Structure formats: C-alpha cells, structure tokens
A and B are shown apart, each in its own frame.
Chain A
C-alpha cells in the first residue's frame, strides 16, 4: 500500500525521464504477467502462446493510430477492439484446445503463437513486417508522466480486479481445478467451461498490456508476437511467485530493473548482454526448489514463523497451567 502511494508521488519528486519510462515498462509487464498468472497460477494451464494476445493488442492500437487522427477516444476504442479480438480468439482457441492434455496444450499454443508471428511477418502491407512502423500518440500522452500515471492506475485496477476475480466463487473453482482436475470434474464442474473463462480473462488483459506496450514505444514490429514475450511473462510469474498475483508484479519489477541494469553493464563486459542466462538459472532453481516463487516462499516462511510462535505461546500456556 505504501509502495503504491510512493509510486504515485514518486515522479513528482524525482524527475528522471529514463526512470519514468522504465517504471512504465514495469507496470505494463506487470499487467501482462498477472494475466499469465491467471492461467498458470490459478488454473494450472501452461500456455506457450500468450504473446499472441499481447501482439494482437499491440497491433490493434498501432494500426488504428497509424491510419487515423490520434485522439484519446480512438486510443480507448482501439484498446477495446484489441481486447475484444483477444476475447474472441481466446474463446475459440480455448474451445478447441483446452480439452487436450497439458503438454499438447503447451505445444499447440506454441504453434498458434508461431502462426500469428508468421502471419504478422507476411502481411507486410499492414504490419511492415519485422521493420515495423512508428505512429503518433494523442497529445495527452506526449507527456511521459501522464502515460506513467495511466499505466500505474491500470495496473492497480487490474490487480484489484483480478484479486476480486480469484476470490469470487468462480476463482475458487479455478483453484480447485488446478489442485485436482479429476476431482473438480467429479464434483460436477464443467472443467472445460471454467478453463475457457480463465483463458478469456487472461487473453483480454494480455491484450490490454500489449496495447500499452505499443503506446509506450510509439512503435510496433513483429517482435511483440515472439516467444521472448511469452518467456518474459513466464520468468516474471515463476520468479515472482506463481498463484500469488502480487508475485508477477514483483517479478516484472525485478526482471525489468535487472534487464535495464545489466544491459547497462554490457558496455563494461559483453557477457552482461546475456543477462537472460542468469534468469534462466534462477527460473530453473525456482521451479525446482521454490515452486511458489519469491512471494510464495516468503509467505510460507512467515506463516511457519507464526505457527512456531503459536506453538510456543501454547507451550507457555501449558506451563502456566
């Protein structure tokens, strides 16, 4: 909470453009990573194609702004359109693929995202392929501070919105599915149904983050559809803490900051160019030893401590008794 307020005040005290951009980037990826957590952490679905929705959002906004007068109304419209597309596509994809077993699903999403990438690369009249194109953003966003605040607010809204979502009866069913799919099924829940809902929610929010990403760069190219984008979400979610919602936010911050910092060090030694290797290793260790990531592990530690304290207090009571 304190951090939240600090983040609102921060740009007014400390005026550094590159920091502002970096933080905006963090908020955007935090939104993206949270959407991924809905799949991985709360429903137990492994998707390797989440970049698909990120890319749809990015291109929707970019193409609209390229061809029309950039107004706020248009931006809102374009974002909504992207979200709508993503909702439809995630529904169709979910309907087709979510009945498959986990590894098949992972592969199929990988392939589908690959298809989108290829399509974006080939449809050059619209996308200008890998070269990409720049576009104008509305007047209001010319001030980086405005955009910073918009992204921050959206991140907070998404966070609380998703929190409500997972604490709703529906969210509990998703968790039950993650825990034990067969049991949820035998309790009479239409597992496929709920999985599709989860993937629609995740797809829509991913699209939102993609739109913001394009707006922040005022540029788009096919890299928004690449595996790297999905990998980012994976790393952030796993390292931050799967199934904790705040974890992916933390993960986004860690990875973006480290990325920024380590790329800066690349001038010192080229090995820092390969910062991803470090995260790859941390990621593997996290999957193996801390499947709940930073947040989950800290929570566990805290609850253990509390339990210990409980025990010691009860011991005291016994002694006194």
Chain B
C-alpha cells in the first residue's frame, strides 16, 4: 500500500512537471498551429540558467525567477526571429524549430560546459513528512502544488480575462479575430512567451527533483511533453493535465516494475492515440 501511494505521488510530481512543459506546447499549437520542436531547448535553458542563479545566490526563489525571466526572453526571441519569419509554412516551421533546438542545446553546452551539474533542493524543501507508514517527500509535494496552482492560473486566465477570451477565440478562428480588430500577432507573441516561461519553470523545478541536469535533458523531456500533448488533445489544457498525470503515473509504476519498457509504453500510447483518435483522448468532440 505504501509503495502504491509513494509511486503515485512520484508519478504525480513527474506528471506536473511534464504538464508545465506541455501546457505551453499545447497552447501554442492550438493558437498558432505551430508545433514547437525547440520547446525542450527552452526547458533546458530554464533549468541551466535557474540552477546557475540558484547556486550563485544560494536562493531557490532567485533561481525560479531567473528561470522564468530567461524563459520569457527566449520565448520572445524564438517567436519574433525564428517562428514569425516562416509563419504559415508548416514544413519550414517544423524544420526551423528543430534547428533552433540544436542551437539552443549546443549553446547551453558552450556556456555551462558539457558535464552534468548536481542540484539539491533548498533546506526548507528537503526531507519528508511521515504520515503513518507513508513517507511524503517535501519537494515532490511542492512540485504537485506548484503544478496545480499553475493549472488553476492558466484556467482562470483563459476563462475570465479578456486576453484568455481572445486566445480561445483565436484557437477557433484566427482570421475572424483579426477581422474584429485584434492584432493576433501580438497575442501569438504573448502566448509564446508565457509558454516558454512555463517550460523554463518546469526545467528549473525538475533540477532538484532529478538531482542532476545535463545538456540533453531538453529532447528527453520534450518527447514526453509531445506525448502528453497528443494524448491530451492539441490545444486542450485540461486534457494536458490529465494526460500528463497519466504519463507521469505510468512512467513511475513502469520504472519500478519493468523499467525497460517505461518510455516505450508511453510512446505506444501516443502512437495508438495518434492513429485512432488524433484529436486526443480527452477531447469532447472532433
């Protein structure tokens, strides 16, 4: 029983981190029809920049703020100079974002070196609570709380703010939104920056959780995020958090019982969803 709960909590924490990464991807895809293959690069950059600042200042909060800041900045650069020039051409977009992914992850190794960096959580998030026989590691609980808070925030923004309303309208019909006098390019930029910031935050949070960060972490987690986006349905935030939880928990249990197959199972789910339900497992209607 304890094992079951522990694995579930572990899976939930991983799921929340993947959700943060996937949330940006799915929103960007829904609104702009851009599948950002560089998203993992933004994630890795958030991780490295955040950890660097964290180790430098010894303040975890500073690390988080730094990660978000670098995410916003890189998001701006990516949208303005990488994606906008080829807007509307799917093949070029796919190719260019993948190219930018290479540049981002190589640049990372140039700046911080190719070796992995060890990271531990701050003192106040180290250790665990014991409830009966169940051990809850504080940092995991922290990640779950942050993930849920972020989901709540995104949900609120989409449902109850003007910009959220415009984003939802834009997902349905971009041309009409423009015809109503809204500069959709600016909305694209905002959404992209927000998505990049979330990816960077996820990268920062994952560092103490995984214990080490390394240069190729971007692609590794990006693949998980792609899987989540597909399972959850592109452009669907609630679908994303459900799918991320599913992928996280499957990953956690598989890693314990049959570690060989953990990634394979997730990929298989994605392949099956793509083939039989390309609109996503959690989409209500076409």
Contact = CB atoms under 8 A, between A and B. Distances in A.
Interface of A: 40, 44, 46, 48, 96-97, 100-104, 106-108, 110-112, 114-115, 118-119, 122, 227, 231, 234, 238, 271, 273-274, 276-277, 279-281, 283-284, 287-288, 291
B267 to A, nearest CB: 5
25 contacts: A46-B91, A46-B95, A96-B275, A97-B274, A102-B90, A103-B29, A103-B94, A104-B230, A107-B274, A110-B226, A112-B267, A114-B263, A115-B268, A118-B260, A118-B267, A122-B260, A122-B261, A227-B219, A276-B102, A277-B102, A277-B103, A277-B110, A280-B106, A284-B82, A284-B100
Contacts of A115: 264, 267-268, 271
Contacts of A279: 102
B221 to A, nearest CB: 13
A100 B278 contact: yes
Which of A40, A44, A287 neighbours the largest number of chain B CB atoms within 10 Å of its CB? Answer: A287
B147 to A, nearest CB: 23
Interface of B: 29, 33, 35, 37, 82, 85-86, 90-92, 94-96, 98-100, 102-103, 106-107, 109-110, 114, 219, 223, 226-227, 230, 260-261, 263-264, 267-268, 270-271, 274-275, 278
A146 to B, nearest CB: 36
Contact of A118 (B35, B114, B263, B274): B263
A277 B95 contact: no
A287 B103 contact: no
Nearest to B101: A280
Contacts of B223: 110-111, 114
B91 A274 contact: no
Given A107-B230, A276-B102, 4 more contacts: A103-B33, A122-B260, A238-B99, A288-B92
Contacts of B271: 108, 111-112, 115
Contact of A287 (B92, B114, B267, B270): B92
A227 B40 CA distance: 14
B86 A287 contact: yes
Contacts of B274: 97, 100, 104, 107-108
Contacts of A110: 223, 226
Contacts of A107: 35, 226, 230, 270, 274
